[in-house]
Chain A
Amino acid sequence: MSTETLNDAHDSPDGHDAHHEHHIPKGILRWLFTTNHKDIGTLYLWFAFIMFLIGGAMAMVIRAELFQPGLQIVDPHFFNQMTTVHGLIMVFGAVMPAFTGLANWMIPMMIGAPDMALPRMNNWSFYILPFAFIILLSSLFMDGGGPAFGWTFYAPLSTQYSGDSTALFVFSVHIMGISSIMGAINVVVTILNMRAPGMTYMKMPLFVWTWLITAFLLIAVMPVLAGAVTMVLTDKFFGTSFFDAAGGGDPVMFQHIFWFFGHPEVYIMILPAFGIISAIVPTFSRKRLFGYASMVYATASIALLSFIVWAHHMFTTGMPVAAEMFFMFATMLISVPTGVKVFNWVATMWRGSLTFEVPMMFAIAFIVLFTIGGLSGLMLAIIPADFQYHDTYFVVAHFHYVLVTGALFSIMAAVYYWLPKWTGKMFDITLAKWHFWCSLISVNVLFFPMHFVGLAGMPRRIPDYALQFADFNKWISIGGFAFGLSQLIFLALIIKACRKIGEPVSDQVWEGAEGLEWEIPSPAPYHTFSTPPLIK
């Protein structure tokens, strides 16, 4: 795609740009009152990173307790709080805000828009998030502890049998939901209305496409989550009995409602990753993305299918056989469009001219490890076998492969890919390679043996286990600590990059990179595309 540069950023840097810099408030006020998509993107990304470290610290507690059989470090009630809050923080605090941060930074730059469509709402949708998580984290210090019913908060464990902190949990999930919905609306409005002239839908970069579809998913299902937590709240505190059989309710209905949100939520956390990988692989293959149109259609089909597969999380709840069959077949069907994506990436690399810079290393790791997670997902769809896999470490392995080596690796790939554009300096490549290799090895030591202990019969969410699982759990914990420590390398690298230490980079940054974001200067000026570029 080529552009006719009508872009103010290409004006002389000391003239026009300096004029703009003039309006930026200094210090904390700049960050508090900012409506700039780049600032807000940065805020989201830092917030996600902090949450990732906090959620990771909780994972370390979990792995320390599971290092050997017996209870050593925490009591089971606190252990349950750790698994619960770890899950909530990683899903709602780390992965989702990180993708929103990337969307804020990149979508306007990719479609030739000056900013997000609703900049003030953008500020607000970020700034309510920290409060949500302060509320959630502070609940851990309440009498009786924080939420201990798993991030899936199944009733009646979360209603009749939970502590008072449930009220804080519900409130914080509401705030997270409002933030997500506002962020999603902003993305939709921006993409639909602010594309540069000539940027037709089928010319949009795939990251924009996948985020557009993700945003619709968010708008569709976050209200369902809000409904679920509200019913939990009224069941617990106001005497309703949505999920209490004794009052005419049904605890299984909770799971239907939750997973009607929960399954699209899974794709909310992976579709933007597909977009990122679809941007990185062509760049370092020096070859156009294979099957662009089929990528778009596959993303849309995955999103549509995500609404009719929710009950595959509930095969053991005792559904009618006909319903089980339907959800099994629908679930298996998802592997077709997902497979198309993987095949397209491989075909893009095929007969390319490949180099292996750090973003590409993460992207390739993503393709392999996400596919492993996808294949174990296919196994999980087979109901008779799922009766054995369900609620074991096999499932834990599965969703960590798709979420850690899937979503999280894609986020890291994206950060390495676009960081030089953001800062104007190349990041510390040696540190980055250390970060990659340490993460790659440790993450597999951490999650691969979970398949084995799960198949051998270790249930998830237990603080102590039978002796036959001891050897693998020791390795899993060692892998966990190593993976946790590896992320400190990433932290050091990011701090270094934010202090603008490193070699200056060109506008294009990566040989082979194509798209509007690579045609503006590095670092990206505070305001870009104040006049839209013309896409031919």
Chain B
Amino acid sequence: MNRIFTLLIGVMLTFSNSAIATTAAERSNVNMRPGASDISLEVYELHMLMLWICVVIGVLVFGVMFYSMVMHRKSTGAKAANFHENVKVEVLWTVIPFIILIAMAWPAATTLIAMEDTSEAEVTILVTGSQWKWHYKYQNNPEVEFFSLLATQREQISNKFTKGDNYLLEVDRPLVIPTGKKVRFLITSDDVIHSWWVPDFAIKKDANPGFINEAWTNVNEPGIYRGQCAELCGKDHGFMPIVVIAKGPAEYSAWVQEQESAARRANEEEQRLLAMNMSMEELMTQGKKVYDTACVACHQANGGGLPPMFPALKGSKIAIEKQNIPVHIDNIINGKNNMPAFGKQLSMSEIAAVVTYERNAWGNNTGDMVQAKDVNFVINGK
């Protein structure tokens, strides 16, 4: 990169680059950030190179025009010249831009080829977008997989609570990756098109349903890196952030092992819960918690929904009539119409709790209690 800098507009560029890079080291409010990987720094430098070339072109062109506007005014007695063609000049200002373009295209192509080379990755993570959350699955450690949802409270969004520092850029379970290793992301979607964007890695790749895209990074420094979904994906497009924590390789391995044993424990817990019944109070407390993270965006805190795209649960036949309990459970597990499937995201006991909650909240007082084993019955038929 440096070669091209000096080649083109050396002094100016080096000056501007160092001046802005110091302020942009964290989260700049006015400029792209240099980011956390070699590639993201290259992209940043490419951006600054382009920016300055454009600024120089602009200053030259507008300079000539403004000069003319000042010097060639009729009011100061300027008489119009008669020329209206000049082949030499016209060839010149066709050829010079062409040369500038080639000078721009060369470093851009080099960086692009490096960015698209996803071979020889040490860690591979499957990233799946769905309305409106991300799911991460560690291909090298298949037991480790989880959903990552917006963690900002609804009350902050509706201006009832003060907004925190990471408002809308915080999740319940961040993605964790190792530093100093080539991490490859396989990106796809379960429903509409999303786009997985982490500015500090210079990665923005669309998550297309039915297809898998690839991207990679190699993060230099441990840290917390935040991004957002970048492709309009429906109502809560603005509310599906991405948080990535980069840990040193040793810490990363420890974290993976912890996740693996946690996954095993959760599995055992699930089996245990199948055998026992939770009390109404437990179900309702747990159910409200689940509802507030998974359901509230569409069905709303008062259960009224936003009909007809997002139907009301309050007073709905499915949530009130006893014979519909299996349908109710099934809709949550497999989804219905616009509603995504939650079977992978929620455990059986969580589904049991949220079904109970929905059947008893907002005046739906059916008194129905649904247990994990009822959910298991719907899923496995036993």
* Chain A residues close to B by CB (< 8 Å): 69-72, 75-77, 80, 143-145, 148-150, 154, 156-157, 160-161, 163, 244-246, 250-252, 285-294, 316-318, 321, 324-325, 328-329, 332-333, 335-336, 339-340, 342-343, 346-356, 364, 367-368, 371-372, 375-376, 378-379, 382-385, 387-388, 390-392, 452-453, 455-457, 459-469, 471-472
Closest 8 CB pairs of A and B: A245-B210, A462-B238, A318-B213, A375-B54, A351-B81, A288-B84, A353-B80, A391-B230
Select one of B30, B78, B90 contacting A291, CB under 8 A: B90
A352 to B227 CA separation, bound complex (whole angstroms): 52
Least distance between A251 CB and chain B CB atoms (Å): 6
Q: Which residues of A contact B202 (CB under 8 A)?
A: 384, 387-388
A358 to B209 CA separation, bound complex (whole angstroms): 52
- Nearest B residue to A287 via CB reads B80
A346 touches B30 (CB 8 A): no
Q: Which residues of A contact B12 (CB under 8 A)?
A: none
Q: Which residues of B contact A391 (CB under 8 A)?
A: 195, 197, 204, 230-231
B42 touches A384 (CB 8 A): yes
Q: Which residues of B contact A336 (CB under 8 A)?
A: 94, 97-98, 101
Q: Which residues of B contact A333 (CB under 8 A)?
A: 101
| A and B contact pairs by CB, cutoff 8 A, 15 listed | A76-B235, A80-B232, A251-B209, A251-B211, A287-B81, A317-B206, A349-B69, A376-B54, A378-B54, A384-B43, A387-B43, A388-B47, A459-B197, A466-B166, A469-B29
B204 touches A154 (CB 8 A): no
Q: Which residues of B contact A463 (CB under 8 A)?
A: 238
Least distance between B111 CB and chain A CB atoms (Å): 4
B232 touches A385 (CB 8 A): no
A335 to B168 CA separation, bound complex (whole angstroms): 38
Q: Which residues of B contact A376 (CB under 8 A)?
A: 54
Q: Which residues of A contact B210 (CB under 8 A)?
A: 244-246, 250-251
Answer whether residue B316 sits at the interface, using C-beta atoms and an 8 A cutoff.
Answer: no
Answer whether residue B296 sits at the interface, using C-beta atoms and an 8 A cutoff.
Answer: no
Number of B residues whose C-beta is below 8 Å from A?
97
A367 touches B65 (CB 8 A): yes
Answer whether residue B62 sits at the interface, using C-beta atoms and an 8 A cutoff.
Answer: yes
Q: Which residues of B contact A346 (CB under 8 A)?
A: 61, 64-65, 68
Q: Which residues of B contact A364 (CB under 8 A)?
A: 65, 69
A371 touches B105 (CB 8 A): no
Q: Which residues of A contact B116 (CB under 8 A)?
A: 321, 324
Least distance between B157 CB and chain A CB atoms (Å): 6
A318 touches B32 (CB 8 A): no
- Nearest A residue to B116 via CB reads A321
B50 touches A343 (CB 8 A): no
Q: Which residues of B contact A353 (CB under 8 A)?
A: 72-74, 78-80
A288 to B31 CA separation, bound complex (whole angstroms): 42
Q: Which residues of B contact A390 (CB under 8 A)?
A: 204, 230
Which of B254-262, B267-275, B306-314, B373-381 lies at the interface? B306-314
In the complex with contacts A332-B101, A346-B65, A378-B50, A455-B204 CB distance below 8 A: no
The proximity string for B residues 93-121 relative to A, scoring 1 for CB distances below 8 Å and 0 otherwise, is 11001100100110011011101100000
A520 to B36 CA separation, bound complex (whole angstroms): 66
A467 touches B208 (CB 8 A): no
B238 touches A335 (CB 8 A): no
A392 to B239 CA separation, bound complex (whole angstroms): 15
Answer whether residue B51 sits at the interface, using C-beta atoms and an 8 A cutoff.
Answer: yes
- Nearest B residue to A318 via CB reads B213
